[in-house]
Amino acid sequence: MKVQELIEMLEEFDGDTEVRIMAQENWPFENAVEGVTERSRFEDTDDPDDPEGEPNCVFLVEGRQLKYGNKEAWCSCN
């Protein structure tokens, strides 16, 4: 998924709605979002010694577990 695709998906929701991460489809958990970061903030993506290095990516960083989730989330996502 690209950043623009995520932005477009989120535009249909009320801006005051809390964002969480639903993880582990077989045993789902709802987790808070700790923050957002990108690979280049913690890893050198322009390392000349590693020309095949990882591309820069944006990460939604998982926060603490809030509650058990629901497997139906995977069936209802866009």
Distance from the Cα of residue 9 to its chain's centroid: 13
| Contact by Cβ (8 Å): 61, 33 | yes
Q: Cα separation of 73 and 27, whole Å?
A: 12
Q: Is the pLDDT of residue 44 over 90?
A: no
Q: What's the predicted TM-score (pTM) here?
A: 0.75
What are the residues whose beta carbons fall under 8 Å from the beta carbon of 56, sequence distance 6 or more? 38, 39, 40, 45
pLDDT tens digits, 19-32: 999 999 999 999 99
